[in-house]
Amino acid sequence: MLAKIDQTYRTIRDRKGRVITGLSMGGHGALYLATRHPDLYCAAGSMSGALDLNPTHWRITPEFAKQIAPRFERILGPLGKTPDPYADHSVVFMADKMKANGLKLIIDCGVDDFLIEPNRELHRRLVYNQTPHDYTEHPGGHTWDYWENSLPYHLLFFHKVLKTNGATVAQ
C-alpha cells in the first residue's frame, strides 16, 4: 500500500514524513497500523475511532448490535472466545506499545458519539502510563459534520509534527 502511495504521489519515503489518520473504524485502523509499524509512521490520529472492537463497550441499541454482530463474527469469531481476538486486536489495549513506540498521537471524539467511552478509555490508559498525546472531545456525534470540524485539527497537528521532523515544504 505504501509503495502505491509513494509511486502515485510526491512523498517523503521515510517514517519522519509519514502520518496516518482515520475516522470510525478507520481511526482504529490508523492507530493499529502505526502502533504495529512504528518504523513506517511518525504520527497517527483517530477521529471517533472504534478503538475497542468489542461492540458491547459501545453505546448502541440492541438492534444495531444484532445487525453488526455477523460482520464482526466473520472476521474475529464469536464474542467470549479465549484467547479473546477482540481484545487482542483493539488499540484500547495497546497503550503500553504506543508509549514504547514514541509516536505522536491525536485522538478526538464527539461527546454524543456512540464510541465515546472506548476513546475515553484509551485516553485514560495513555494518561496513566504517561504517554504524550493530544486528546479532545467536542460537541457532536458520529457524523460528517463532526469529522469536517475535526479534520483541520488533525492537519494542524500533523503539520507541526512534520515541520519538527524537517519534512515540510518551505513556503
Query: In this structure, are residues 115 and 51 in contact, taking their beta carbons and an 8 Å threshold?
Result: yes
Indicate if the pLDDT at residue 166 is higher than 60: yes
Q: What is the pLDDT of residue 170?
A: 59
Average pLDDT over every residue of 41-60 = 96
Mean pLDDT for the chain overall: 94
Instruction: Domains for the chain: give ranges and CATH numbers.
Output: 15-52+90-164 (3.40.50.1820)
pLDDT at position 169: 65
The pLDDT value given to residue 48: 98
Span 99-127, mean pLDDT?
A: 97
Residue that the C-alpha cell 483541520 belongs to: 152
CA nearest neighbour of 145 among 110, 96, 99, 105: 110
3-class secondary structure, 41: coil
With a cut of 60, say whether residue 171 has pLDDT above it. no
Write down the number of H helices and E strands in the chain. Answer: 7, 4
Q: What is the mean pLDDT of residues 86-98?
A: 95
Q: Is this model's pTM higher than 0.85 or not?
A: yes
pLDDT of 26 reads 97
